[in-house]
Amino acid sequence: MKTIRRVFFCSILFLLSTGALFCESSKAQSYPSKTIKIIVSTAAGGAPDVIARRIADKLKSILHQSVVVENKPGATGNISAVMVANSAADGYTLLYYDSPIWAINPHLYQKLPYDPFKDLMPVAQTHLAPLFLVVPTALQINTVAQLIEYARKNPGKVSYASAGIGSSHHLTAEQFRSLANINIVHVPYKGGAPASVALSAGEVEMGFLSYPLAVAGVQSGKTKILGIGTAQRAPSFPDIPSIAESGLPGFDIYTTLGFLAPAGTPTDVVLKLSEAISLAIHEPDMKELVTSYGISLAPKISPAQFGAVMRAEFEKFGQIVKSSGARMD
């Protein structure tokens, strides 16, 4: 009798498990059956928005389904992150943004309304976005080594512009300050554009800017680029030395762009999305677009590997935030 019961219960468990697997497989095969929504954490017109819209256009033909982009800017990405975290875990709502969502905000805010590692899950890493070290032309400094030497000879008298407290611009400069062992003063502005204007006007001696803003200053003749924040030179900008090779070994900092989904999204759906996004970002015309923003294509990795990248960035930026003393609440 016990043997019969055991066989009966084992049969039920087998049927339940195979049924669950069948359901998940069926979902992946039928996915997508309706419009996919991509939530972007910035206003329309910014680099993440433009790139997301280009990817969305390509996904339409790859997945044979409509894909729309919706902008939800504000609170350094927290608004959009909460929106996606609270969405159905079915693969029809995705978040597109960069490292602050998972690497910076958790350290800046005492009470974050989402947990990037519990409420969201990695889907696809797409691009790497470095910042460029810029100084006013009038400063007559031409290399990173010269800037460090100048700052050491003038402790507390060299100031740097950022796009605001806790921004990647701020934390990149803080890492520069720490590794160079120099005493420089933070001057936060309300965005990258005002910071760029301050550099061009000579209100500050240095700053880290996105490529479009850095190039605009160079073209006006008011600023110059000393280096790029990645450990090696970017293939798209071979004439711009890395900061690491120019006097600050070990300097390597950038943000990662990628897609996240609500936690609990079926694995097969995530893998299907990841592969489709990879196909989209590797199309030839995408390179020209991202290069115009100073952004490079990220290595192709699995969602699990992207998760490991997120965790590593979380640890890295956490140390920088702690060192800087930055807080947002």
Q: Domain map of the chain by residue range?
A: 33-128+256-324, 132-246
Q: Looking at residue 26, what is its pLDDT?
A: 54
Task: Give the residue among 152, 164, 102 at the shortest CA–CA distance from 311.
Answer: 102
Burial of 45 (0-12, 13-18, 19+ CB in 10 A): exposed
Q: Looking at residue 328, what is its pLDDT?
A: 87
pTM here is: 0.88
Q: Looking at residue 257, what is its pLDDT?
A: 97
Q: In what order do the strands lie in the sheet with 223-228?
A: 184-188, 158-162, 206-209, 132-136, 223-228
Summarised one tens digit per residue, pLDDT across range 197-206 is 999 999 999 9
Classify strands 223-228 and 36-40 as parallel, antiparallel or unpaired: unpaired
Whole-number Å distance between alpha carbons of 143 and 147 = 6
In this prediction, residue 15 has a pLDDT band, given cuts at 50, 70 and 90, of very low
Does this chain's domain 33-128+256-324 share its CATH topology with 132-246?
A: yes
Summarised one tens digit per residue, pLDDT across range 28-53 is 579 999 999 999 999 999 999 999 99
* Whether the predicted pLDDT of 142 surpasses 90: yes
Q: Looking at residue 25, what is its pLDDT?
A: 52
* Whether the predicted pLDDT of 1 surpasses 70: no
At the topology level of CATH, where does 33-128+256-324 sit?
D-Maltodextrin-Binding Protein; domain 2 (3.40.190)
Which superfamily does CATH assign the domain made up of 132-246 to?
A: Periplasmic binding protein-like II (3.40.190.10)
* Whether the predicted pLDDT of 22 surpasses 90: no
Mean pLDDT on 175-187 = 97
The tokens describing 298, both together, are 């990220």
Mean pLDDT on 79-103 = 97
* Whether the predicted pLDDT of 8 surpasses 50: no
